[in-house]
Structure 1
Amino acid sequence: MKSSINETVWYSEKRRKILLLLLDGQKNPEEMKTAFDVEWRSLILPLKELKEEELVCNPEGVYELSNIGKLITENAKPINGILNLFGKDTEYWVKRELDTIPEYLLNRIGEIEDCVIAEPELNDMFELPDDFISVIRNSRYIHSVFSIYHPFYPPLYAELAENGTEISIVLTESVFERMKEDRKEELIEIQESENINLFLYKKEMIPPPIIITDNLFSASFFNVNGMYDHRDIMSFSQSSLKWGEELFRYYQKAANPIPEFEE
C-alpha cells in the first residue's frame, strides 16, 4: 500500500533531513553524500520514496523539491526544529515556564539550535564559568535582561563598557532596587557610561534572564515553580542568536529608558 505524504515526511528522520537539505536548493548526489557524510546507496531508498510521493524530483541528474514538496517542507521546518530541541533535553524543557515568551517567538522556539544545558557544580553555583566570561569579553556588543540579581555582572559590564563594548541592559524593578541598595556606586558608574543603555521593565510577568552577544545566546528559563534552578541554555548558532535577539528586543520595547540615577 502506498504510504501517505504525512507518513513519508514524519515517519522517517532521514527523509525529513533530505527535504530540509533540498529546501536550501537543488543538490547533486555528491553534494548530498557530503552533506550527510554517508555512502550514496543509503540515500537511494529514501529519495525513491520521496519521488514516489512527488515531493522530490531529479531533472538532469540533480535533486530538488517539487512545488508541493517545497510548500510542505517550509511548513514542516518549524515543527522539526521544535521536535529536535525538545527531544534532545525533554526532561529540562517539560519543567520550564515559557509563558513569558511572546507567542510569535514561542512558535519559533525550534530556531534555538545546537544548544547545551549548563549546570554548575555545587561549589561553583554562584560563580561565572571561565569559558563563559571569555566569550563575553570577546564580544563586540552585549544585550541582557537582568531579572535575577547577580553581583558579578555589574563590575564586569562596567569594565567591558570602559573598553568599548556596546551594552544594553533591561532591568526588572526588583533587580533595579537591589542594585540601588547594594551596588549604588556601580549602578551610577554604569549609568554614566556612554557605552551602556539601561531600561526598566515594569510588567507583572517576569522575563527570563538572557544574554545575547554577537557570538552567544544564553538564557535562564525559570522552572514551572517560577524559580531559577541554575540550569542555563547556551548556543552559538546563528539561528539561536537571531531568535534570542528578537526576544531581547521584545522585552526592551516593553521597558522604559533609565536616563539617570534616582535617589
Structure 2
Amino acid sequence: MLDFLFCGTNMGVSIIELVCRSEKRKNLLVYLKDGPRNLAAIKEALDVTSTGVLPQIKLLKDNDIVVQKDDEYELSIFGNIVVQKILPVFKLTRMLEKNPEYWFSRDISTLPMKFMERLGDLGDSEVIEPDINSLFDPPQELIDHLLVSQHVTTITSYFHPYYVKHFVGLAKKSVGVNLILTNDVYERIVEDYEEEAEVFFGMDNTSIYIYEGDLPVVSMVCADGFFLLSLFNKKGIYDHNKLISTSEEAIRWGHDLFEYCCLDLQEKE
C-alpha cells in the first residue's frame, strides 16, 4: 500500500525519506493539508524562520510535493496523496514518543484492526496513574466533565459502583446516556441496585446494550469535550492506568468504537 512512497526523488532518496527525515518538512506537510498558506502564516504556525523553512519548501517543490501559486504554498495532487498515506504514521509515532511506557505495556490485540490503525488519533492524550490511596476512584477529570455534559457514551466490561450512582443521577437530569455493558456487569447492576436499575433502564434518555463475549476495551467514556480509555496490560491485568484526552480526534475515536460495537451486536442477533 505504501510501496510508491519508496520510489526515488530528484534527491536520489525515497519519498518517505524525504518526508520523514526532517521534522520541519513533516510539520509543514501536515500544516498544508488544510489548505494553501503564505510564508508568514507558515512561519507563525510552525514557529520557524524564513532561513529555516525556505530550504525545506524548495526541496518539496523540487520533488512536486508542494507547489507555489502566487505567494502561497500548497500540496500538489501527489503531495496530498503522500500526506494522506503517511499522516497516520506521523500521528502514531508522536503518540508512542509521548507515552511510550504506557503504550508498550498495553495489550491492544483486542482492538479491531481499524482502531489500531487509528491509534495516532489518541496522540494528545495524557496518562493517569492513580496512587495506592485512590486506586479504585474514578479520575477527578472524569467526574468534572460528567457534571457538565449533556451526552455520555460509555463502554465498560467491569463493575464500578460509581457508574451506577452517577449515571443514574445524570439520566435524572435529562443527560443522554448510552451504555454498552457485558452481561456480567449488567447482572451485577440488576442484582445489587435493583430499584435504581429498573428506573435507569426504563428512561427515555438512556440506551443500554448488553454485549455477549469480550469487549475490545476495559472501559471507554466519551463525555462533552472529554475522552477516557482503559486497557489491560500485556499480562492481562487491569492496573487502573487510564488515558484521558480533550481532543476532538480522541473523542471521535471513542464514539466510532461505540458505534462499531453496536453494529457488532446487531450482526450477532
- Is TM more than 0.5 here? yes
Match of residue 156, structure 2, among 146, 160, 166: 146
- Contact (CA 8 Å) 1:154, 1:190: kept in 2 or not? no
Q: Which runs of 5+ in 2 are unaligned?
A: 1-9
2:60 paired residue number:
50
Match of residue 75, structure 1, among 72, 79, 85: 85
**Corresponding letter in the other structure for 1:2:** M
Cα distance per residue 1:146-185 (max 9 Å; x no partner): 2111111111011111111000111112212222332223
Distance 1:70 1:130 in 2: 41
2:36 paired residue number:
26
1:65 paired residue number:
75
Matched, 1:93 2:103: yes
- Kindly indicate whether structure 1 or structure 2 has the higher relative contact order, using CA contacts under 8 Å at least 6 residues apart: 1
1:260 paired residue number:
none
Match of residue 122, structure 1, among 126, 129, 132: 132
CA distance 1:113–1:206, change in 2 (3 Å): closer
Matched, 1:2 2:24: no
- Contact (CA 8 Å) 2:121, 2:250: kept in 1 or not? yes
Distance 2:57 2:143 in 1: 46
Q: CA deviation at 1:3?
A: 4.5
Q: CA deviation at 1:62?
A: 1.1
Distance 1:233 1:216 in 2: 11
Matched, 1:217 2:223: no
**Corresponding letter in the other structure for 2:11:** K
Distance 2:125 2:218 in 1: 16
Matched, 1:246 2:256: yes
Distance 2:239 2:160 in 1: 14
**Corresponding letter in the other structure for 1:129:** P
| TM-score normalized by the length of structure 2 | 0.89
Further displaced range: 174-183 or 163-172:
174-183
CA-based RMSD:
1.7
* Percent of aligned pairs sharing the same letter: 30
Corresponding residue pairs, total = 256
Q: CA deviation at 1:48?
A: 2.0
| TM-score normalized by the length of structure 1 | 0.91
Query: The residue matched to 2:136 in structure 1 has which SS?
Result: coil
- Contact (CA 8 Å) 1:144, 1:248: kept in 2 or not? yes
1:105 paired residue number:
115
- The aligned runs of 1:187-206 (5 Å cut-off) are 187-204=197-214
Matched, 1:161 2:171: yes
Q: CA deviation at 1:205?
A: 5.3
2:3 paired residue number:
none
Q: CA deviation at 1:207?
A: 3.4
